[in-house]
Amino acid sequence: MFKRNRKPAPPLPQAAQIEHERLNSLINSMADAVIAVDESKKVVVYNAAALNVLDLNTIKPNTDVAKIIKPVTSDNHPVDIASLIETTTTPYTSRDLRLQYTDNSSISLYMSIAPVRLGYGTKGQGGHVLLLRDITREKSLEDERDEFISVISHELRTPIAIAEGNISNAQLIADRTEGIDPAIKQALGEAYNQVLFLAGMINDLSTLGRAEQGSLKLEIEAIDVKALVAELVSNYTPEAQKKGLEMKSEIIGEIGELHSSKLYVREVLQNFITNAIKYTSQGSVTLEASYSSQGIHFAVRDTGIGISKGDQDRVFDKFFRSEDYRTRQANGTGLGLYVTSKITRLLHAEITLESELNKGSTFSIFVPNLENHVPKPA
Ligand code: ADP
């Protein structure tokens, strides 16, 4: 099923007619619902899958798109589709909408909206193409997985904290005991490092769980930026020195207080610094903070293995780890930067990455001053 609900078009030349039919059958063979609307948000083209997703028998000519697509947000707020389309100038996608049917059943909806020029030739009328897909099954699997991760990370916290404390005590006792076999100290050191890695991973999983459930809370406070930089440099200097790296800091401009979440700003910088140390075998790691009237620009610069152009787009993806053998030599889960990108959104901040393979990487985050920030109602 394929319709153009506009006034009858003049007959097309034969080649154009063939092309037109080809497009018709292509659009109708798509599993995703396709709906094209013109500048006044009236449906001009749709396919069979659109009728399925919207649970309609047909779509009458010149129907307003808002009459047939009435999505709601995950917390049941109606979405004004006409103004959403109106404001879409670059492609937009969402996986967090729902569509309710007249019998009160509902589906989880994937929706993408892209601006297009409809019609033929350069004078074709503008409009938008909407792609819709029922993702109820995927969503429910994702919800189950998130719930599982959240329960597991919660349950593992206590035993790991106890193991960490006990191994640390055993190390102290071993240090104080004379004539102890050095292999025991080495084994305890290795066990301690692995427990720390597990604790970090559990922490990432737990932040991730809360981020995906939208329950991360932003508590704004005045952050003494210089003190935060000094604290991080002092915390990570021993780890850097163990690898023969220099840990440096640079403060640029008159930096005073930054109003943001200290907890999350610190977590992002910690992620950048641990990565910088992990993926650098010689040279230095520098934490930089520079002042701007809108906020603070932090950067973590390393002289490490760098990230290829192809990987740079993917490092913030969930579970992504580079295939580079030097990455695989270090422990990692591929969650740190994903969690970081979630936190960044919460902070209204912006991340940039500059990197060159074998030369080093700079992960930067601009954290805006949220002194007069009014949180949106949940
Ligand atoms: P991981 O636990 O693997 O470190 P992250 O999400 O923190 O997970 O990072 C994802 C991937 O990005 C890493 O596996 C690595 O390939 C790459 N990466 C991150 N930071 C750096 C860096 N400073 N230098 C080189 N590669 C990096």
Ligand 1 atom with minimal separation from the 324 CA: 16
What residue's CA is closest to ligand 1, atom 7? 336
CA 5 to centroid of ligand 1, rounded, Å? 51
CA 275 to centroid of ligand 1, rounded, Å? 6
Cβ–ligand 1 contact at 336 (below 6 Å): yes
Cβ–ligand 1 contact at 300 (below 6 Å): no
What residue's CA is closest to ligand 1, atom 19? 275
Chain centroid offset of residue 318 CA? 8
Can you give the chain as a three-state secondary structure string? CCCCCCCCCCCCCHHHHHHHHHHHHHHHCCCCEEEEEECCCEEEEECHHHHHHHCCCCCCCCCEHHHHCCEEECCCCECCHHHHHHCCCCCEEEEEEEEECCCCCEEEEEEEEEEEECCCCCCCCEEEEEEEEECHHHHHHHHHHHHHHHHHHHHHHHHHHHHHHHHHHHHHHHHHCCCCCHHHHHHHHHHHHHHHHHHHHHHHHHHHHHHHCCCCCCCCEEEEHHHHHHHHHHHHHHHHHHCCCEEEEEEECCCCEEEECHHHHHHHHHHHHHHHHHCCCCCEEEEEEEEECCEEEEEEEECCCCCCHHHHCCCCCCCCCCCCHHHHCCCCCCCHHHHHHHHHHHCCCEEEEEEECCCEEEEEEEEECCCCCCCCCC
Q: Which residue has the tokens 């610190």?
A: 266
Token pair belonging to 352: 């940039």
Cβ–ligand 1 contact at 209 (below 6 Å): no
Per-residue model confidence as pLDDT tens digits over 51-71? 999 999 999 988 999 999 999
Cβ–ligand 1 contact at 204 (below 6 Å): no
Cβ–ligand 1 contact at 100 (below 6 Å): no
CA 150 to centroid of ligand 1, rounded, Å? 23
pTM of the entire predicted model: 0.66
Distance (Å, rounded) from C-alpha 212 to C-alpha 277?
28
The pick from 308, 312, 327 for probing ligand 1's pocket by mutation, whose C-beta has the most ligand atoms within 8 angstroms, reads 327
Pairing, β 284-292 against β 126-134: unpaired
The pick from 273, 279, 338, 339 for probing ligand 1's pocket by mutation, whose C-beta has the most ligand atoms within 8 angstroms, reads 279
CA 264 to centroid of ligand 1, rounded, Å? 19
pLDDT value of residue 205 = 85
Neighbours of 213 (CB within 10 A): 12
Cβ–ligand 1 contact at 200 (below 6 Å): no
Cβ–ligand 1 contact at 340 (below 6 Å): no
Token pair belonging to 75: 């917390």
Give the long-range contacts of residues 117-120, CB within 8 A, separation 24 or more: 118/36, 118/38, 118/44, 118/45, 120/16
- Which residues of the chain are under the pLDDT cut of 50? 1-3, 376-378
pLDDT value of residue 143 = 84
